[in-house]
Amino acid sequence: MKAHTEYLFFETKKKREYINITDKIEGIVEKSRVKEGMVLVSAMHITAGIYVNDAESGLIQDIDEWLEKLAPFNINYRHHRTGETNGDAHLKNLLIGHEVIIPVTNGKLDFGPWQQVYYAEFDGQRKKRVVVKVMGG
């Protein structure tokens, strides 16, 4: 079994952003030379997430509004007693999740027709990273 690890770095301009990273993941899989296996894509921060969905702008806005409705900014979160003001970002991470595993078949991401990989930033404007680990043979 082979394993190949790379890191992606992000420093978003906005507090919340959704970035399509599919091309970057495809490039890492190709570089790994793994033909059959899987790729783990994992945000290494508890205020960011990784998800797979359609790359349609209306849907991305719907996801953002849904997350804000379920985990809105609220100055009264107990977490804010620590001096932080990002309690909602932690909750949004729990809703989206921090990682995905994608099958690799014949050296390519084995996706359905509309699936794309996204990095979701909920507390941006500072440097963050994602680990990408390709495993297989």
Domains of the chain: which residue ranges? Answer: 2-136
User: What is the C-alpha separation between 103 and 95, in angstroms, rounded?
Assistant: 23
pLDDT of residue 116: 98
The residues with which 100 forms a beta bridge, in sequence order, are 41
- Chain segment 20-47, per-residue pLDDT in tens: 999 999 999 999 999 999 999 999 999 9
> For 2-136, which CATH superfamily applies?
YjbQ-like (2.60.120.460)
To 10 degrees, what angle do helices 87-96 and 57-70 make? 120
Q: What is the pLDDT of residues 108-121, one digit of tens each?
A: 999 999 999 999 99
Q: What are phi and psi of 23, to 5 degrees?
A: -60, -40
Query: What pTM was computed for the model?
Result: 0.95
- Euclidean distance between CA atoms 66 and 71, whole angstroms: 8
